[in-house]
A and B are shown apart, each in its own frame.
Chain A
Amino acid sequence: MDHPIKRDHARFRKIVKGRIRDNLRKYVSKGEMPAPKGDGTFKIPMPSIDTPRFKFGDRNQGGMGQGNGEAGDPVDGQESEGPGDGKEVGNQSGKKELEVDLSLEELASILGEELALPRIEPKGKKAMPSVTNKYTSIGMTGPNSLKHFKRTYREAMKRQIASGSYDFNDPRVIPVKRDFRYRASDAKVEFENSAVVIYMMDVSGSMGDEQKEIVRTESFWINLWLKSQYKDIEVRYIIHDATAKEVNEETFFKTRESGGTLISSALKLCREIIQADYDPNEWNIYPFHFSDGDNWSADDTKICLEILDQDLLPASNVFCYGQVESRYGSGQFYKDLVTRYGEDDEKVILSKIKNKDAILDSIKDFLGKGK
């Protein structure tokens, strides 16, 4: 049986998750992204869940130490805790910043609960093959840790009975090398719903660092949610000013271009990518476009709407447009889309992101329809 402390531990995790949920808005608007760790979990710095007590303030308290140095010499930067510091009853453990590890699913479910996001109904058939190894078969070779004792002894017994060396009065079964059986893995192909997210960002002169930060934060959480809904997910990035190009993730968030804005260039490239790589019948396609909405001309906007109507909307699950307010105010493109599709279109989700505090609401706008 598990030690009762595992229950205390589960309790603690539950409290932590509740605390993260309560503070989700703060995390998101501060742009404090949980740091992904190698093993697929996320590290989250926690607001303290200390028990409050009457205690001394840190200010003007200082401390004491041992070692050389003159008055005025710094004492920081020299962590020299001995490795063998025995710890005993009553020893207060040092005050460390509490960090919690959460899996992607846990984090996504916190986001989902807080925003009341519906699960996504995938479209298309399960087409993406995904290979999982399951230990369902038996092999003749393998490492000792996978040895299958029952099967091994059964083989040995069979051999002994067959060769007549089995004595019913003294049933001793001794496996020899060729009796050994091992658990072996079977590659199993399962078909999953496949999904692709195509992020497009306007990097024209009017999109500043803060705007990009908003896009970055928002895309992190959107990815997180979609990843929890689809087993495998592909992400493509497009940046554009007057022309568009496909880039990798790093460039996407770092590039700063200048010049004018032709939104149609991005949509065209997006169309090309979809046509080349993603069959709408098999893929769940999510184009996201972020811009400050200052399109170059009404003519270009017309082209945009055309591309949307004819190609992108039929292919996508949903087309999301987020308009980030820049220091030059909010552009015209949002209004153009509203005029065309209205606020409540099934296929086009529009969201205005005024500042960092609005990110969470905007995520809810985008993902709240369960498409």
Chain B
Amino acid sequence: MSRTRPLEGELLRIRDEIHAYALEFGLDFHEVRFEVCDYDTINILAAQGGFPSRYPHWRFGMDYDQLSKGYAYGLQKIYEMVINTNPCYAYLLNANHLVDQKIVMAHVYGHADFFKNNAWFANTDRNMLSVMANHGTKIRRYMERYGQNRVEEFIDRVNSIENLIDVGVLFETSDSKRQSEERMKTAREEIASLTDDRSSALKSFMRTKDRTHVGPLPAHENLDLRDKRVNYPRDIMYYLLDNAPLEEWEADILGILRDEAYYFLPQRLTKIMNEGWASYWHSHIMTTRALKASEIIDYADHHAGVMAMSKQNINPYKIGIELYRDIEYRWNTGRFGKEYNDCEDMHAKLNWDKKLNQGRQKIFEVRKTHNDVSFIDEFFTPEFCERQQLFTYKYNPRTGRNEIETRDFLDIKNKLLNQLSNFGSPVIEVESGNFQNRGELLLRHVHRGVDLDFGYASDTLRNLYALWKRPVNISSRQEEQNITLSFDGKDFKQSK
């Protein structure tokens, strides 16, 4: 793409310098290719999730609209972007100051190391650049054949269930996939032979016959079989791919969008860790190596901007970097384990220092094996919580404003974990594909304290119905009551 160009001159020299520091500190990454581009290009890339070529869809246009306006009004500016590929592509904004470019490069090497080493990214496709481009070509072809409106409408519907995926699938290797498929197959055959004594010839005849007529479509056959074993009940995208009466092109697109959703999933699972890690390294590389005396003010200004705390939101950059630093400090001084935790002498605890110097090693370990949930669960301590001045807030209907609710450690930790669990989406599982023995789809919202937004849920059901083509239901809880929301293609119904 001619909109970006490779580094040259001074930037190239800076890159070599930062690259050397990154290696010196033991960061381990696929080759990083920096490209320079203008703000419009970086807005385009950001709107498309970092990729130069995506399938056509109005949503990218909308994001581009918003980003362009945000930039034009001076509300926001994207300094940098990096995508998880091999080689790893990173884009720099040409209008940045040199010191900003330094920070950004150091930051990018942090991300690149994280992409390569964090366990949750182990199975992501590093060829995504060309995969995405291929997806684009395929979908464009479908649009030519079936009409843009029709295909785009289908994509809208699939987008509606894009968050109905299962984190466990990330660890499915091709081996384990094959095994589980075989298990499924034998199970199916067993059940089939148990419940159906018609000859296979007859069955295959019925199948071919089914395929030719409209109405209840072939995928709805063997209704009772489908409920027996679902490997990943939260992977509703896959469930629909497997069981919904889709045309071939529809199934292909659903598969494409599912692949892309899984590609982005690890990044949603490690937001705090990933940003924290990159920030830790840009800060470390800049302050111990790369920074010139004349650049300190600009650096401090930029860094403080990125780390700004907000009363409304948690800044993942800030929490992340501080948590890594805290871990490093604790493992350097030995402030962990039974002996430290059981110590009741406050003075001894305050001056605890076992001179272990295992901090650096520990954070490298942590960045390899954790995701945001386990990161917080394991390393978030009462001391840390207090130092970071964290609190939870709640809307007070009496005063009509948000007010600080509590600074209690456990409350905060629970709330944080709740927000992070299942990448911030409600946990929803397939319960049955033959609900009420009528081929209806039943999903179950695993309620963990927060109700669903029923307005959104209704609209989502409408889209699900368009895919499933039979009534769809979701069981959930609303204001302490069990409730099932159903949509039959015309009307919504709520039943207790």
Contact = CB atoms under 8 A, between A and B. Distances in A.
Interface of A: 3-15, 49, 51-76, 78-91, 93, 96, 98, 100
B425 A54 contact: yes
Interface in B397-437: 399, 401-407, 412, 415-416, 419, 425-426, 428
B49 A51 contact: no
B58 A87 contact: no
Given A4-B53, A85-B76, A86-B107, 8 more contacts: A10-B61, A52-B458, A54-B445, A55-B163, A55-B425, A62-B392, A62-B393, A81-B308
Contacts of A84: 77, 79, 301-306, 308
A5 B57 CA distance: 9
A5 B48 contact: yes
B164 A69 contact: no
Interface in B60-114: 60-67, 76-84, 104, 107, 111
Interface in B141-194: 152, 156, 159-164
The CB with the most chain B CB atoms within 10 A, among A12, A54, A67, A83, is that of A54
A85 to B, nearest CB: 6
A334 to B, nearest CB: 43
22 contacts: A12-B58, A12-B65, A52-B458, A52-B460, A52-B462, A52-B463, A63-B393, A65-B391, A66-B391, A67-B311, A68-B389, A72-B404, A73-B403, A74-B402, A75-B404, A84-B304, A86-B78, A89-B264, A90-B49, A90-B267, A93-B63, A98-B66
Contacts of A7: 56, 61
B404 A85 contact: no
B405 A49 contact: no
B66 A3 contact: no
B486 to A, nearest CB: 15
A81 B67 CA distance: 16
Chain B, interface size category, equals 35 or more
B61 A52 contact: no
B59 A65 contact: no
A89 B390 CA distance: 26
In terms of DSSP, what is the predominant structure of the interface of chain A? Answer: loop
A66 B391 CA distance: 6
A82 B304 contact: yes
Contacts of B313: 63-65
B310 A80 contact: yes
Contacts of B308: 80-82, 84-85
A66 B305 contact: no
B66 A96 contact: yes
A317 to B, nearest CB: 39
Contacts of A91: 271
Interface stretch (B17-25, B210-218, B447-455): B447-455
A82 B318 CA distance: 11
B12 interface: no
B472 to A, nearest CB: 12
A275 B83 CA distance: 71
Given A55-B453, A85-B306, A62 B58 contact: no
A66 B388 contact: yes
A70 B310 contact: no
Contacts of A79: 310, 312
Given A85-B76, A87-B78, A89-B84, A64 B392 contact: yes
Contact of B402 (A49, A56, A75, A100): A75
A74 B85 CA distance: 44
B453 A57 contact: yes
A65 B310 contact: yes
A12 B82 contact: no
A60 B460 CA distance: 22
B304 to A, nearest CB: 7
B132 to A, nearest CB: 12
Contact of A66 (B61, B76, B390, B402): B390
B174 to A, nearest CB: 25
B415 A5 contact: no
Contacts of B65: 9, 12-13, 100
A75 B452 contact: no
Nearest to B307: A82
B315 interface: yes
